[in-house]
Amino acid sequence: MTEFGISRFGAYIPRLRLDRSIIAAAHAWMAPGLKGQAKGSRAFTNWDEDTITMGVEAARDAVGPGDLQGVGAVRLASTNLPYADLQNAAIVARALGAADGVATSDAAGSQRAGTSALLQALKGTEPSLVIAADNPFAKPASAQELSFGAGAAAFMVSDQNIAARLVGSATVANVFVDHFRSADADSDYNWEERWVRDEGYAKIVPNAVKAALADAQLTMGDIQHFVMPSYLKGAADAVAKKLKFAGTVAGGLEDGVGYAGAAHALLMLAATLEKAGPGERILLVGFGQGADALIFQTTDAIASVRPARGVAGSIADGLPTDSYLRMLSFYNGIEAEWGMRSEKSGKTALTEQYRSADQLEGFNAGKCGSCGTVQFPQLQYCVNCHTSNDQFADVPLRDEVAEVLTSTADWLSYHPAPPLWVGFVRFHSGARLLMEMVDIGKDGIDTGAKLRMVYRIKEKDRQRGYNRYFWKATPLGAA
């Protein structure tokens, strides 16, 4: 038992959904057998989402508006981080408004990266934010293409206001290679499922579970929730049965999400915590080159820390789409003819990005010290009274509610998800600026519609492999 536990949590599932039957239908000419697995819908990322942007969204759901006061570290776990050498967690932390002094680190390399990062934080010495975000890509017409999804979950680990306390844990490590992906590959190479199920999950997980139960001085009968992610259907039920577990086996979030890689264990934990009552015990398993087993016990605080959106809210917030090729294009599976407008250089002046970091990362408008006008961007003098910008105070716009003043759907500009929706947005504080709008439903968007801000990829520099990120507006409740 450590003095740290989960004090808050949140989740984000990308809003775009595709019925698996649409994917299977696209492949019916070569893989008619996929039809049998094509149930429900999976989530997929918009062109401007990745594990960084999803991580930011999940963390905002966990933390709520405001800064990360008291948080000493931000850890980001994923096996699909956009950068190999450029710390992804640092980008997330800055977008969340973390202080300069926060420690940041990426955790990667295994499907249990999420559970391992959470365990490290719980055994650590300072309050921290643990985020797992993943977006696994599978080859077209593979079974994984149907079963995979995307999402992110975030947990505040603290010694205050604990809602779920870690009461025991264990880890076993080995090199059981159920699948692998080399550093330069896009998709996994998978071994036979029966071997993975029987020699892997069925033998390795019980060893870790037994050790964790011993650590907690508990037995399986003391556990109410068994939470084990797997990309193999039925794997959790089989392990639960082997462990003679009589409680609730957490669902795999197959419908509306899909298996979200290293984030999936933490997404399932978040979904379980959303429903759990006080005093319940949850056994969480992460599998990959061994297994992590974490046993939590909820406290009376659990009912008061339910996230605004969470997993259930994210699933309910889906935007149905209807084209397999759209999803494939967003995952760089096809190179469409985007026309000459797409040839514009997307080179980012890294010097400028660093100089302007306060405005770009935290979406900070400036409030004029003389006349009080809130303005974005912060230029050299106040737009209203011409007072120098050294008299401005930062006003973060990222958590402000805003509304549409005007919008237009632009089919002419190059945009990876046409049309480009662009228009003027007015913030509660009075700031007004032209913004890109994303995740617009089929009904478009009207003047006066309420908006929230989301951190997204502003532009992809495909020539150099660099993404620039910025904030975009998205309508609340678009369908």
Partner 1 sequence: MATGIKDKVAILGMGCSKFGERWDAGSPDLMKEAFEEALADAGIERNQIEAAWFGCWGDSINVGNSSIPAAMALRLEGIPVSRVENMCATGTEALRGAVYAVASGAVDIALAIGAEKLKDTGFGGLPPPFKGTFNDMWMPMGSAPAGFAQLAPYYRAKYGTSKEDLKRAISHVSWKSHQNGVHSPKAHFQKAVPMETIMNAPMISDPLGLFDCSGVSDGSACAIVTTPEIAKALGKKDLVTIKALQLSTSSGRETQMNDWDGSYVATTRNAAARAYKEAGITDPKTQVHLSEVHDCFSITELVTMEDLGFSDDGRAVFDILDGRYDRDGAMPCQIDGGLKCFGHPIGASGLRMAYELYNQLLGRAGERQLSSPSIGLTHNLGGVPYQGIAAISVLGLA
Residues engaged in binding partner 1 (CB under 8 A): 339-341, 344-345, 348-349, 351-353, 356, 359-360, 373, 375-377, 379, 383-384, 405-414, 420, 422-424, 426, 430-436, 447, 458-459, 468, 470
Q: How far is CA 235 from CA 2, 118, 134, 135, 156, in A?
A: 30, 23, 20, 21, 29
Cα(432)–Cα(447) distance, integer angstroms: 14
Q: Please state the closest distance from residue 475 (CB atom) to partner 1, in A.
A: 16
Q: What b-and-e string marks burial along 171-181, b requiring 16 or more CB atoms within 10 Å of the CB?
A: bbeeebebeeb
Cα(260)–Cα(86) distance, integer angstroms: 23
Closer residue to partner 1 in complex, CB, 160/384: 384
Cα(60)–Cα(62) distance, integer angstroms: 5
Q: Please state the closest distance from residue 70 (CB atom) to partner 1, in A.
A: 30
Q: Please state the closest distance from residue 74 (CB atom) to partner 1, in A.
A: 23
Closer residue to partner 1 in complex, CB, 279/372: 372
Closer residue to partner 1 in complex, CB, 223/374: 374
Contact 315, 150 (CB under 8 A): no
Q: Please state the closest distance from residue 355 (CB atom) to partner 1, in A.
A: 8
Q: Please state the closest distance from residue 439 (CB atom) to partner 1, in A.
A: 15
Element (H, E) at 270: helix 264-275
Neighbours of 334 (CB within 10 A): 10
Q: Please state the closest distance from residue 430 (CB atom) to partner 1, in A.
A: 6
Contact 164, 24 (CB under 8 A): no
Closer residue to partner 1 in complex, CB, 67/446: 446
Closer residue to partner 1 in complex, CB, 325/371: 371
Closer residue to partner 1 in complex, CB, 77/431: 431
Residue from 167, 163, 266 nearest 219 by CA: 167
- The phi, psi pair for 81, rounded to 5°, reads -80, 140
Closer residue to partner 1 in complex, CB, 136/416: 416
Q: Please state the closest distance from residue 472 (CB atom) to partner 1, in A.
A: 8
410 Ramachandran zone, left/alpha/beta (phi>0; psi -120 to 50): beta
Which amino acid, residue 157?
A: V
